[in-house]
Amino acid sequence: MTSGNMAGGKSAGALYLQQALVRLEGLKKSLGELVDMSRKMAEPLLAGGALFTPPTTSWFGSEYGYRAGGLMGLHDANYVPQSDKDVAFLALPDPRRTTTSAGELLEKLAASPARLFVVGTPAELPKSMHKRIAGFTGGDVSTQGEYRFGEFSPLVGFRAFEQFARMWMTTGELISACICAGKMPMIWMSVWLEGAFVRNASFMKHNNTQEPWFYPMFHENRYIPPLEPGYVGQAFLAALTAIHGRLESQLTLLRQAGTWMAAAHGSGHKVHAMAVGHAYPKILDISRPELYPVRWWPPVSDLTRAVPMEIGKDEVVLHLGYAPVDIGAVERIVNRGVKLIYTTPYGRPAALKDHSNLLWFDLPWRPTDATVDVPGYSVRILPMSSCAQTLAYNVIMAEFAQAMRWPRK
């Protein structure tokens, strides 16, 4: 399997990271607009409104809710808005794949009293709804990217990366705006940390007179020093830029990963992938998995379940992990002939030996995920895993596509 022609002497992965850096610069320039949007979101919530994430896409609710470093006080996704103090924060479906149910839900939201804030651009929403939207995060549209494989065009895009980054930066500045108004939102502590279950449960409003029980949006009597507008967004962006740089320094490894995948695919063996987080594989909008060049598995940290015995010799597994490394599990997998492309934010243990079937690379988002420190508060805010995994996955997929000589769109 040849690597194909490299545009301008650069591999496809290098070009993807170069283009991703342009997006990072765009995020920096957009920060002021995201700060303004977050303040518009905070105003009705501070006045007693509800924040909810209507299911206009299959992935947004899971990515945004019940996350380490995310907001605890979200209402149910199917919450019915009661007043103009309620805030709907939603992602737009790919307009090429918008379902009837998603379209009908958007129409219902437009007819509701809720204030609507969108992760996306006006270009991906019917013009009749533009005036109804209180704010757009901006970002790439679904057609921007590289390579084509069957119905998947682009195969390697930027829309998901921009959605994750702009969504979390806006949320961080929303938290900051609430702090400046004297109210600290309740933030989930990662269940990978000791004491998290007890700590999180202690905030639930629970009694024996009614249900459902719920988490309030704000702490009572919890003072946190005000943050400068833009502080959270800048801190998140700095961490993401550092991860980008770390991937750039490992391009040789990531190119090898793409070569492994291409060799397996080209010889009729399966290529598998798993990102242990909240958005994958739903964010990919794979309606017909048998047509996609990678077989995606549900996210599982335990490698013994993530790479079952049915995955055999010369097949390739890309596992973007979440938990510390199980050295024994890794050794059993590679010793049976499976080629394992592997990373977790905990880093590679010194005791993990090299093996011809193991390709380790670093993807150093902070273990337990939440990224930005809030001085005076007990846990960090804003998860990074989906942004980091998206960068890594697309670099590897770009190298895979180039090695296969698939069309560049």
Is the confidence at residue 75, as pLDDT, over 50? yes
Q: Do residues 89 and 402 lie in contact, with contact meaning Cβ atoms separated by under 8 Å?
A: no
Closest CA to 87 of 144, 27, 29, 47: 47
Q: Which CATH architecture has domain 244-404?
A: 3-Layer(aba) Sandwich (3.40)
* Of 112-116, 293-297, 298-302, the least confident: 298-302
- Give the pLDDT of residue 6: 60
- Give the pLDDT of residue 7: 55
Q: How confident is the model at residue 1 (pLDDT cuts 50, 70, 90)?
A: very low
Query: Residue 211, exposed/middle/buried by CB under 10 A (0-12, 13-18, 19+)?
Result: exposed
Q: At what angle do helices 251-266 and 231-248 cross, to 10 degrees?
A: 60
Q: Could you give the 3-state DSSP secondary structure of residue 243?
A: helix
Closest CA to 183 of 224, 230, 232: 224
In angstroms, rounded to a whole number, what is the distance separating the alpha carbons of residues 138 and 123? 10
Closest CA to 233 of 166, 187, 160: 166
- Give the pLDDT of residue 311: 96
pLDDT tens, residue by residue, 354-398: 999 999 999 999 999 999 999 999 999 999 999 999 999 999 999
List, in order, residues 6 or more apart from 181 with CB less than 8 Å away: 42, 46
b/e per residue 370-394 (b: at least 16 CB within 10 A): bbbebeebebbbbbbbbbbbbbbbb
pLDDT tens, residue by residue, 208-266: 998 889 999 999 999 999 999 999 999 999 999 999 999 999 999 999 999 999 999 99
* pTM as predicted: 0.95
Closest CA to 75 of 62, 63, 58, 87: 87
List phi, psi (to 5°) of 241. -65, -35
Task: Please name the fold of domain 12-233.
Answer: Rossmann fold (3.40.50)
Q: What residue ranges of the chain are covered by domains with CATH 3.40.50.10490? A: 12-233, 244-404
